[in-house]
Structure 1
Amino acid sequence: MEETSAKDIAKIYKKQRTFFASQETKSIDFRLQQLKKLKEAILQYENKVNEALWRDLHKSKEEAFLTETSLLIEELNYHIKNLKSWAKPKKVGTPLQIKPSRSKIYFEPLGIGLIIAPWNYPFQLTLNPLIGAISAGCCAVLKPSPDTPNVARVIEEMISEHFSSEYITVVQGGKEANQELFKFAFDVTFFTGSPGVGKIVMKAAAEHLSRVVLELGGKSPCIVNKDANLKIAGKRIAWGKIMNAGQTCIAPDYLLVHKEVKKDLLAEISKAFEEMLGGNIANSNYYGRIVTPAAMNRLKKYLNGDIYYGGKIDLEKKYIEPTILNNIDSEDEIMQEEIFGPILPVMEFGELTEAISYINGNEKPLALYYFGKDKTAKRVLRETSSGGACINDTLIHVANHKLPFGGVGNSGMGKYHGKESYLAFTHERGVVNSSTKLDIPLKYPPYKFFGLIKKIVG
């Protein structure tokens, strides 16, 4: 795949600055037209996208629909329905001491957005932020991941067919392209990826004092207490771990299970793997592959412990069987970084306090999952912090566009989905409109009515 040259990146930036200055993107009718156009483009290209996802990640068309296409269509429908109300200036109250004046919040586009997407959900995570950029009235430069080249090509083809490059365009390449892009003062940079690269993005944006939205990751814990429904827990944990072969930023990274139910829970998870994928998982059409040989080699090093289930690999086919690692210790290598693969390390606890203390002793995760009764679930939510959470389920909070999605601390900053996507690319501008018919002298020197001012303000 040909990388976009530094010269072309400079031209793109200049053209988008000029187009944004034309004011055309600020029209609500224009934005709605572009949202509808993007929806039509996605539906038109669905088969090509499915084929590309299969080639890059061995992702089935069913999984592609559930985790990529359908999320985008639902998000687009939500924005199309609500954009006019979101963009309407919002009246707010005005303090007595500055009356007679009226106060409003105006919502204006930040300008040009740079969207740097990851490879694990390469279609959805490139275009989902774009929906927010279009809604807000911004121009956008999309930078797909080079690790999923087939999807990157389809995105470029789709965008170039339906949008002018001065408004929305695609830049291809790896680290070198990123470094070139970072030289320019984008008004907002939306990055999805690892915390390590997120720090690089944030440093680059700091040079221009521009906004960043960082959707990162981390080790998302899954707690199963002794009062959980083990059959349901096993099935939902297994599903959360095999989706995209575990290459999901909100996948349950590790399991904290009460020691009294560990044996039964692991049996349920193992059974669920085979119920969903069949006895010969390597031949399943519903199980993905690891993205690159480098990622395979990174994951392979973890397969040396107490393997309860799975452990089979095929380096040439980039296949790793869903694997449960039992009797893991917090000091083990697999517990030091996000796994991003279909390997589930298991630690046990005797009291819930132990599990909570372990979670709080590490970086704040992007997601947290708890299986058990509501009363203890409330305690877990109260005493921990995470970007998002599910009680008695995994992953599904990402599918509700009425919920904000984002990390906290090491797992990211800023939010998107639904209205939050619109706000991510929007500046909320506070405006006071003062009357000229009456000019109260309280604010002017020599402050003859200072005592009255103190009473009003106090």
Structure 2
Amino acid sequence: MTPKAPAPAAPPVSPTLAADLREAVTSGRTRSAAWRRAQLDGLTRMLTQNLSLWERALATDLGKSADETHVSEVALVLDEARHARANVGRWMRAKPVVAPLSLQPALAHVRPEPLGVALIIAPWNYPLQLQLAPVVGALAAGDAVVMKPSELAPATAQLLAELAPAYLDERAVRVVTGGADVASALLAQRWDHIFYTGGERVGRIVAHAAAEHLTPTVLELGGACPVWVDRTADLAIAARRIVWAKLLNAGQTCVAPNHVFVDASVRDALVAELRAAIAEQHPEPRTSPDYGRMVSQAHLERVAERLGDGTAIVGGDVDAADRYVAPTLLGDVALDAPAVTEETFGPILPIVPLAGVDAFVALQRERPKPLALYAFGDRSVLDRLERVTTSGAFGRNVAVAHIMVRGLPFGGVGASGHGAYHGRRSFDLFSHAKAVLAKPTHPETLALVFPPITDGKREVIRRLLLRR
């Protein structure tokens, strides 16, 4: 595989960047529906008019095929942008709220308004989708935006920095490239919202920096997403869907199945089906355009270490020069092995037998809440697991595909993050819901609660407020 070119040196971050862009919001520039639609249109054109460039950049950074780029990166952002563009006028409207009888006559409403300027920090594994999907919500909400793409996907980051000024309002939207020093310089400034997608360690750093200014944050973190395969499952269907979800982007997906817990009575049958599914979907993964590569040598080495947590049933091959790790099923894995307790973020799938669904439930209650949990089985098993387990998302006989449903919130819980977006939730996330109460000056009904409180007033107050 052709080595990635090093990212160009990043210019220093202006210490007044956040304040400069905030002016675009306070001046009213970003508040109109016309401006918001124009930015969403520009973002759409930036993707569609430069599709071949995005394909090339993502192939360079991650070995992604054009088809995978279309499905998992571009199409998801286009869907979000077009949906927001069609609905932003309605979302911006004030919503009436009924005022209580004790305040009548009065009118109340909630008016969404821009939070201000948002810093959106993206990861490297889906460097286009996970950068631009939150940006859609911020632009629809009328916020100014600073995008900080990952330096580990330098081709995509550089292309975004080059194209964005041609399609988006530079007075309100900027792209800042660079590494950890650039991120630190950005986090030192006061933002009105910080949206971070990445790992838990850096998430803590972001949360700490945001706390200095009491800045609200959304943290989209990760987590070792488990799969339960029950003895009642259709094993062939389960295997094909698990393999697809696991090997998408060569396993470098935050909601990918991290490990499979399976009823011990069907363990061998499931392994046979998983082996067949890998052979069917990736018969020649080393040369297939449909199978990606590790993002860096350091990441490849970290993923390859997980091979030592068990015995390779299928795969196990590593080619460091090509940043290649084969699709791998791992057996003989202990419950406390890092391959099970930590997020592998690669194409290695441990298969761990358990005594039954009760054992799985007990185990999940002991462990951190994952970004997603997937279960395969009959309706009674799935109904129970949906009720008694906690996770950012729950897939019934399917994995990963929930991210394609715009109406479902995407986000974690506990250690896997907080805050959720997609669809209307993205607009709400980047908006402030201003509470507004209007009361005419006549008649002066508030005099009822003005001191001094007479016996007559007291009786009326009690009737109105305490006897509803």
Q: TM-score, normalised by structure 2?
A: 0.95
Structure 2 residue aligned with 1:369: 374
State the 1:95 CA deviation.
1.4
Instruction: Specify every segment of 5 or more residues in structure 1 that has no aligned partner in the other structure, as ranges.
Output: none
Q: 1:10-409 alignment to 2 at 5 Å?
A: 10-278=15-283, 280-304=284-308, 305-409=310-414
Q: 1:58·1:288 contact (CA, 8 Å) conserved in 2?
A: yes
User: Which stretch of the first structure deviates more once superposed, 159-168 or 394-403?
Assistant: 159-168
State the 1:5 CA deviation.
3.6
User: Which stretch of the first structure deviates more once superposed, 44-53 or 13-22?
Assistant: 13-22
Deviations 1:385-414 (A, max 9, x none): 000111001101001111111001101111
Q: Distance in 1 between matches of 2:329 and 2:459?
A: 72
**Which amino acid in 1 is paired with 2:298?**
A
Secondary structure (helix, strand or coil) at the match of 1:155 reads helix
Structure 2 residue aligned with 1:443: 449
State the 1:102 CA deviation.
1.0
Q: 1:12·1:165 contact (CA, 8 Å) conserved in 2?
A: no
Q: Distance in 2 between matches of 1:380 and 1:76?
A: 34
Deviations 1:190-223 (A, max 9, x none): 0000111111101100101111011111011111
Deviations 1:73-96 (A, max 9, x none): 111111112111111100111112
Q: 2:218·2:420 contact (CA, 8 Å) conserved in 1?
A: yes
State the 1:53 CA deviation.
0.5
Secondary structure (helix, strand or coil) at the match of 2:183 reads helix
State the 1:332 CA deviation.
1.5
Q: Distance in 1 between matches of 2:252 and 2:176?
A: 24
**Paired residue total:** 456
Secondary structure (helix, strand or coil) at the match of 1:260 reads helix
Q: 1:274·1:281 contact (CA, 8 Å) conserved in 2?
A: no
Deviations 1:410-454 (A, max 9, x none): 011111100111111100011111111211122211122123212
Q: 1:9·1:171 contact (CA, 8 Å) conserved in 2?
A: no
Secondary structure (helix, strand or coil) at the match of 2:411 reads coil
Structure 1 residue aligned with 2:3: none
User: Which stretch of the first structure deviates more once superposed, 223-232 or 436-445?
Assistant: 436-445
Q: 2:369·2:390 contact (CA, 8 Å) conserved in 1?
A: yes
Q: Distance in 2 between matches of 1:434 and 1:109?
A: 25
Q: 1:104·1:431 contact (CA, 8 Å) conserved in 2?
A: yes
Q: Distance in 2 between matches of 1:33 and 1:178?
A: 29
State the 1:276 CA deviation.
1.0
Q: Distance in 1 between matches of 2:351 and 2:448?
A: 68
Deviations 1:236-275 (A, max 9, x none): 0000110000000000011010111111111111111111
State the 1:308 CA deviation.
1.1
Structure 1 residue aligned with 2:465: 457
Structure 2 residue aligned with 1:9: 14
Structure 2 residue aligned with 1:430: 435
Q: 2:39·2:169 contact (CA, 8 Å) conserved in 1?
A: no
State the 1:3 CA deviation.
4.1
Q: Distance in 2 between matches of 1:103 and 1:18?
A: 29
Q: Distance in 1 between matches of 2:206 and 2:148?
A: 13
User: Which stretch of the first structure deviates more once superposed, 438-447 or 136-145?
Assistant: 438-447
Q: 2:148·2:177 contact (CA, 8 Å) conserved in 1?
A: yes
Q: Distance in 2 between matches of 1:357 and 1:53?
A: 41
Q: Distance in 1 between matches of 2:85 and 2:169?
A: 21
Q: Distance in 2 between matches of 1:135 and 1:333?
A: 41
Q: Distance in 1 between matches of 2:172 and 2:97?
A: 33
Q: Distance in 2 between matches of 1:230 and 1:88?
A: 49
Q: 1:3·1:177 contact (CA, 8 Å) conserved in 2?
A: no
**Which amino acid in 2 is paired with 1:237?**
I
Instruction: Specify every segment of 5 or more residues in structure 2 that has no aligned partner in the other structure, as ranges.
Output: 1-6
Q: Distance in 1 between matches of 2:35 and 2:175?
A: 20
Q: Distance in 1 between matches of 2:170 and 2:37?
A: 18
Q: Provide the identity percentage.
A: 36
Q: 1:117·1:125 contact (CA, 8 Å) conserved in 2?
A: yes
Q: Distance in 2 between matches of 1:229 and 1:420?
A: 34
Q: Distance in 2 between matches of 1:197 and 1:221?
A: 23
